[in-house]
Amino acid sequence: SAVISQKPSRDICQRGTSLTIQCQVDSQVTMMFWYRQQPGQSLTLIATANQGSEATYESGFVIDKFPISRPNLTFSTLTVSNMSPEDSSIYLCSAGPPAEQFFGPGTRLTVL
């Protein structure tokens, strides 16, 4: 299994600002994934982050709004830029060996 930590666990931000979420995995992994979960909804994939290459974004998500870094095989960041209240959500990092996929505890973001 993989143990995944995220920082911060929660934050309240003002409209128009940016927040960077950090994700740390306790082992080296090839792929890391960022998801968003809005209240009462399932998980929506934002992007896939591979070390050494540009992140791959899903339809409806763009790099200018959600820039991602992947500097090594155990760490990634997701930035939520120019935030609006619609960005209020739980953001989850996921990673693991090819046959399994684990989740971090999530970052609960509230935008006022």
Partner 1 sequence: QKEVEQNSGPLSVPEGAIASLNCTYSDRGSQSFFWYRQYSGKSPELIMFIYSNGDKEDGRFTAQLNKASQYVSLLIRDSQPSDSATYLCAVRSSASKIIFGSGTRLSIRP
Q: Which stretch binds partner 1 (CB under 8 A): 10-18, 19-27, 79-87, 97-105?
A: 97-105
Contact between 100 and partner 1 per CB under 8 A: yes
Which one, 19 or 23, has the nearer CB to partner 1? 23
Name the CA dihedral angle for 96, 101, 107, 108, rounded to a multiple of 10 degrees: 180
Do 33 and 94 touch, CB atoms closer than 8 A? yes
C-alpha angle with apex 58: 52 to 59, nearest 5 degrees? 145
Around Cβ 8, how many Cβ atoms within 10 Å? Answer: 12
Q: Binding pattern to partner 1, positions 17-56, x when CB under 8 A?
A: --------------x-x-x-----xxxxx--x-------x
| Contact residues: partner 1, CB under 8 A | 31, 33, 35, 41-45, 48, 56, 58, 92, 94, 98-106
